[in-house]
Amino acid sequence: MNTNAASATDSILVACPQCHSVVRTPSDRVGEHPKCPKCKAQLLDGHVVTLDATSFATHTSKGSLPVLVDFWAPWCGPCKMMAPVLDRTAQQRATKLQVGKVNTDEQQELAGRFNIRSIPTLILFQGGRELARHSGAVDGSALGRWLDGVLAR
């Protein structure tokens, strides 16, 4: 068996949380803190990424990892309660999932495109398509169960 061919296909695409470039990373090295060759930022840093229309498309459509997107607004009390839950989720699942936030006040076109009627609304994307959505605040264990259930399908 050609090991070069096997390693070339055993990789994932990761959108950089800083410059939003798409980077190919060997699957077996995602836990080794890979860096973006363009901006040198850590790719899977376990932080929530702020998304706008351009970076949203890159992260949700071009990367291999699922992306959990929180549609929120700064004036929303339940959204503020969700922030630490999402921070922990991003840290705990850093090599398996990216977490992003879309401020619906600043990104009204995105909110409209995804028919966001209440906030917070969480949408899980993979490969450019919506896998599932949940509206309303949840605690960390409920979010974990929801993610595990959706990703197990």
Give me the helices (H) in the chain, please: 3-9, 53-61, 77-92, 108-113, 140-151
CA distances to 11, 29, 32 from 3, in Å:
13, 16, 21
**16, 19, 36, 79: the active-site residue:** 79
Check 16, 36, 39, 76 and give the catalytic one: 76
Assess whether 19 carries a catalytic annotation: no
Q: Is 39 a catalytic residue?
A: no
End-to-end CA distance of the chain: 31
Active-site amino acid positions: 76, 79
